[in-house]
Structure formats: structure tokens, C-alpha cells
Chain A
């Protein structure tokens, strides 16, 4: 088990290292001069102001130092929790801007991922080898899986927010309220959270259902299932054993899909103007706020790595083979 975690941690450490290095490299080695383009986008004609801005940005990136020193400084600033100053929310530091947005994103992501995973697996397991259910779950699953996240969000937003006008479609809470702990505010938070949540939940649902259905069918054909059936075991029991085996690849699948799910949450937030990381990214791109963009990127990478590790721990708890040091986990 120690070897299992050691290997995992090595991969995650390496991934973080690569992510930070990529993050550092892109502004420096991409074609074009980011400083020049940032200054140009500010649309200032006064040459003195242009020179001052150029100076300012070069200092911010530390372009005047040797390349290796720039790299180590980058890491140093990172460990000090210094991601730079946001341009869009000037003069707030990027870390503070991100911290304000993170609770909203997590509040959307965690419930929608977990609930769609549970419900999807349950529906898939139920549908496997049952003709009528299968014929409804499978097509619905494929349609949901093929839908782009933002489109289902747009449809829900249009349907419930514009046509029926039953739910709010923008923001994290009503603009008329101040954040406090009153029932009114919590109710408003909930109303604004509902549509983005449902949207994320629905898109992810189909994939889990299809995956589980396929795995159950595969497990029901395995020798142990046939053996149990030959012994005259009730169907419920066989299915329960099949489910316990089939759920393992689904846990690995959850780890593999985290990146996609986070990406989906980003675009969903943009549709609903939900004040999470997705809306931050949009603001950062619209305002050419590269520090904010890069800070958000590192934050997402870190979050995905931590979530991966949590899933690894869960896997060890669920699958005894990994504890005994035998092969089991494949990620």
C-alpha cells in the first residue's frame, strides 16, 4: 500500500511541477510579446505612459532578470502564496479574488459530481439486462453525454428563467440583498444555485449510467456470476456482487473525468453568470488579466490533484486488493 501511494504521490508531484513550468513558460515562449500586446490593448498614445507601462509589466513578470532566476523566483512567489495583482479587480491580489470565487465553484461541483455519479450508477445498474429499462436509459444516456455543457445550461436558463420565469438566471444571489445569514439570503442563494446544479448534474448523469450498464453486463457474464446462478442464488444477490465489482472502474473513471467535469462547471457558470471560477476566467480573458488567468489555472490544477488523491484513498478503502499490495488500481 505504501508503494501504491508513493507512486501516486510521485505522479501528482510531477504533474504539479509540469503544470507550474508550463504556466511559467507560456507567457515567455509563446510567439509574440505579451508585454507589448498588453500595452497595445490599453490604447494609450502618450509615449511616456507607454514606457511606464512597459516598465511596470516587465517588472511584474521579472523579464529583466536571467531566465533561470525568473524561473526560481516564480516558484518562490508561488510558495509564498503570491500570484500577483489582478488587473480586472485592481488592486486586489489574485489569491484573494480566487478565494472569493472558490466557495461558489465547490458548492456547485461537489454536490453535482457526487449526486450524478450515484444516481447514474444506480440507473445504469438497474437498466443492465432489463430490456424495457435499457431501451430508455441507453438512448437518454447517449443524448445527455453528447450534449455540450453550455448548451444544456442555455436551454435550462431559457426555459426556466425566460419562458416560465420561475427561477433567477444570473448571479449567485439576488442583487437586492447583502450577504448575511438571514433565511431570505440563504433562500436566494439556493434559488440561484439550483439551475446550474441541475445542468451539471444532467450532463454527467448519462455517462455514468452507460458506463455502469456496460460494466454490469460484463460482470454478469463472469464465471463467478454463472457459478452463483448455477448454485441457485437469487438474482438480487448475483446483481449485488456484480455491482460491487463494477463500481471499481467507475471510481477510476471519476478520477479520469475530473478535468472534464471541472471544465463543464466553468462554462456552466459562465452561462448563469454564477460568481465562481468560470466567471473569473471569463473576466480574466475579457480584460487580458493574465495573472488572474494563470492563478486560476494553478488553482484548478491543484484542486484536481487533491481530488484525485482523495479518490485514491477511497479506492484503497473500497478495494481490499490494493491494501494487500496486490494489483488492483489501474490509474
Chain B
């Protein structure tokens, strides 16, 4: 799980340097940035596994198909579990659900964080005070503990439901970061001009303020994407994963629960961990690369 303080993990856009107006310039540096290429490459590989994989495996992930506890061989590339389930089938479905959680939960958290951050930063005053207090409260509450309680009471759990609650609890640092950015932008001349010409608040935020930090918003989403996958895997591991499917965390949970460790079934618990680490790590590395592309100060000379 990430312990990087997410706020310092990406450099805030400098309000005095105009954002890259020239897409070509960003692209020029993007294709020459090793970190970005490696990160995007790894994520793409796993994305393909998640999209195509489930169509290629022969059986549903939880079905008992073969001999139990078989090491990887020609027929079952990743071996079988204690019950004779195909680990590869579980793996590809698990990778798919990791991406689903990342997109849904990360997207929702980014959306909430943006709305609260923009409104608090642009409006200021009492609205800001209240929203800021709310943000601070949610920031201090240990998220996973709340998720534990909610999921324990939910009898039937789905990937969508899980994403919903992860999204609802992981937005605070985004709101804070975006609030600070909006604060520095709202008294700029072009925003004043828009306000004087009678443009409505929502439109000012969407058309004048948001585009000035679009790269920042995108990077925030990537970080949320990664952290959502990690949170979901922890929940799954404790036994509060989706009841209607399989995920990488559920695989680890089953492996731990049904003595894969003492039996030495390494093919059961190594692949899901490698997948999570690779996806999340690649996202973080790609994020650093993106940061260098968008922020000229960070480019290597």
C-alpha cells in the first residue's frame, strides 16, 4: 500500500508557467520518457490479460476442473488449487476485476474530490469552511475500518458495490489538493474577466479553472486508480470480497485460508501478488513519467 504522501507525490502545477498549449510538445516528451513508456507498457499488458483472458480460458474461475494441487504444466499453466480449480482462470478474471475496481472507485473518488475541491476553493467563505471541515473529518477516519463495517453488514457484495464504497471514502486528499490549486487560480485576471462578463459559476470552473490543471487532475486519477486496487485487495483478503466473483485479493484470501503456504502451492499465491504489485507500481512509475512530461522543471537535462 502506498505510503507516499499523495499530496507531495505529484508536483503542483506552477500557476506562473502557462500549461502546455502545444499538444505536440507533450507528445514529444512523452514518447522519449522511459518511465512513462515502461509504466504504460506494463499496465497495457495486464489490461489485455484482463480483457482478452476471460474469453480464452476454458472454464469459469471457481469451477473444479482438474486434479487438486497440480503444479503448473502444459494443461493448467498456473497449476490448480487445493480443490482442483484452475489458477489461471481465476487469475485472468481477477485482473479484470482489479481494473474494474480501479476505474469505478478511482473515477468516483476523483469526481467527488474535484467537485468538493473546486466548490470549496472557488466559493470560499462559509461554504469552504464547511467543506473543509468535512474533508478533514473523512481524512482522519481510518478508511479501511469503515469499509470493513459496511461490507460486513452487506450480505451480498459485488465488485460495483465495493467500488462505490471505496470511491465514497478515498477522495479527501484530492479535494484538499484541488481546493488549494483553485484558490490560487480564482483571483487571476482571466477568471475575473469571465465573472465580469456574467458567466455562471459552474461554467467558470469547467471552462476557465479546470483546464488549467487538467494534467494534475489526470495524475490524481491515476494515483486513485492504484490505491483503490490496493484497498480492494485488502478488503478481499480479510474475506469481504465480492460474493459473486473472483478477484486477486479473493485468490490470496483463499490461498491463505486453505493452507497454500504449508502445502507449498506457490503458484496459487505468487501470481495474484505479482499482478497487483506490477499494476500499481507501473501506474506510479507512469505517473512520475507524466509529471516530467507536463512539468518542464522536472525534465532531465
Residues of chain A at the chain B interface (Cβ within 8 Å): 11-12, 14-15, 18-19, 22-23, 26-27, 30-32, 34, 37, 116, 142-143, 145-152, 154-155, 157-158, 161-163, 169, 203-204, 206-208, 210-211, 214-215, 218, 249-250, 252-253, 256-264, 266-267, 270-271, 281-282, 284-286, 290, 293-294, 296-297, 300-301, 304-305, 308, 331
Contact = CB atoms under 8 A, between A and B. Distances in A.
Contacts of B155: 32, 37
Contacts of B256: 150, 154, 270-271
Contacts of B1: 145, 147-149, 203, 260, 263-264
The CB with the most chain B CB atoms within 10 A, among A31, A150, A214, is that of A150
20 contacts: A11-B140, A18-B137, A32-B154, A143-B277, A151-B273, A154-B256, A154-B261, A154-B273, A163-B264, A206-B3, A207-B2, A253-B4, A256-B173, A257-B3, A260-B3, A260-B144, A264-B1, A290-B152, A301-B145, A304-B140
B261 A285 contact: no
B9 interface: yes
B17 interface: no
B153 A34 contact: yes
A150 B234 contact: yes
B73 interface: no
Contact of B140 (A15, A26, A266, A285): A15
A68 to B, nearest CB: 22
Contacts of B5: 207, 211, 249-250, 252-253, 256-257
A264 B145 CA distance: 11
A256 B139 contact: yes
A23 B149 contact: yes
A281 B277 CA distance: 25
B234 A263 contact: yes
A145 B261 contact: no
A12 B261 CA distance: 41
A52 B48 CA distance: 55
B8 A215 contact: yes
A270 B3 contact: no
The CB with the most chain A CB atoms within 10 A, among B139, B238, B240, B269, is that of B238
Contacts of B66: none
A32 B276 CA distance: 33
A30 B237 CA distance: 23
Interface in B257-285: 261-262, 264, 266, 269-270, 272-273, 276-281, 283-285
Interface string B58-70: 0000000000000
Interface in B122-143: 133, 136-137, 139-143
A252 B141 CA distance: 15
Interface in B148-168: 148-150, 152-155
A301 B137 CA distance: 11
Contacts of B281: 142-143, 145-146
Chain B interface size, under 10 / 10 to 19 / 20 to 34 / 35 or more: 35 or more
Nearest to B143: A259
A138 B99 CA distance: 25
Contacts of A143: 277, 281
Contact of B142 (A26, A27, A31, A258): A258
Contact of B141 (A15, A260, A282): A15
Contacts of A32: 153-155
B269 A154 contact: yes
A207 B230 CA distance: 14
Contact of A148 (B149, B154, B273): B273
B165 to A, nearest CB: 11
A215 B9 CA distance: 9
A204 B144 CA distance: 17
B237 A301 contact: no
B137 A15 contact: yes
Interface string B1-39: 111110111010000000000000000000000000000
B4 A207 contact: yes
B133 A14 contact: yes
B292 to A, nearest CB: 12
Contacts of A155: 270, 273
B252 interface: yes
A263 B143 contact: yes
B233 interface: yes
A253 to B, nearest CB: 3
B36 to A, nearest CB: 14
